[in-house]
Structure 1
Amino acid sequence: MTPALRTARYLTAAAGALTASAAYLGTVITWWAVLPCLYVAAVIAWCASCEYAVHRRTLTAHERARRAALLEELDTAGPCCRLYDLSGGYAHRDCARPPDGLAELYTACCAEAFVSRGARHDATCPTRTTRSNAA
């Protein structure tokens, strides 16, 4: 809850109380007493609507800042797939793919190990650590 929303709620309650008191004054005393109460109630209601607008603007600014920070965080990771590019970063946020499609190839010790997922290696491969295909 922003301070503007709290103020708007108080002003709305005050405008309602003034309207009720104007109705009471109109029935008990005279209709001339109604005019100042209704005028003040209208001014307070206008002030309340302005405070509600400030509240909405504050929430919108916070949401835009949050989205900008999220997009900045996602942009530092780089696009993971075509869906990420087409949606502007909104879809595929939790994609498990590496940002670079060839990243796994770059970390592989040889081409045969890349193709077989570490089960086989070339004769010229320096590591030759065989990995099970179960993993």
Structure 2
Amino acid sequence: MTPALLTARGLTAATATLTIGAVYLGTVNPWLIIPPAYVAVLLAWCARCQYAAHRRVLVRHEQARRAALGLELLDGVPCCRLADHSGGRAHRADCQRPPDPSVELNSACCAEVFVSLGATHEAQCPTLTSRSSAA
């Protein structure tokens, strides 16, 4: 159990208590429903955010476990918040997902550059600039 899950459960219990209190106060005076109902909605939103944080922690742990074991990473689950908002096109610096090799292959000027990591080029390569170890 993560701290976020513990907080979310507490907020959910407080939301239920305030909702019951709002219903009871509504029998006394309908205007008395507004304050506890407002706070209950606010706490329900906070609980939802905490449940989402709990799920993110679980996904991060699962992704790290899979990466450590050399297993395939989960595709349907975003690896970081930036990937979630960009549709998987961008990743944060601390993202656990390895970079997409097709992006590097498509940006390479020739196949030999991709294989040698920039050290050598093919004869027909337009750039013919090799990367030295001093650079």
TM-score, with structure 1 as normaliser: 0.52
Partner of 1:8: 8
Q: Does 1:24 align with 2:24?
A: yes
CA distance in 2, matches of 1:11, 1:59: 20
Matches within 5 A, 1:96-111: none
Structure (1 or 2) with the larger CA radius of gyration: 1
Q: What is the one-letter code of the residue matched to 2:26?
A: G
Superposition map of 1:85-100 within 5 A? none
Secondary structure (helix, strand or coil) at the match of 2:70 reads helix
In the alignment, residue 4 of structure 1 is paired with which amino acid? Answer: A
Aligned mates of 1:31, 1:13 — CA distance in 2: 23
Structure 2 residue runs of 5 or longer lacking an equivalent are: 72-135
Give the share of equivalent positions with the same residue, in percent: 61
Instruction: Report the number of matched residues.
Output: 71
Map of 2:89 onto structure 1: none
Measured in 2, the distance between the counterparts of 1:31 and 1:53 equals 34
What does residue range 1-135 of structure 1 map to in structure 2 within 5 Å?
Answer: 1-27=1-27, 29-71=28-70
Unaligned runs of 5+ in 1: 73-135
Q: CA deviation at 1:18?
A: 0.2
* CA–CA separation in structure 2 for the residues paired with 1:50 and 1:60: 15
The two structures have a TM-score, normalised by structure 2, of 0.52
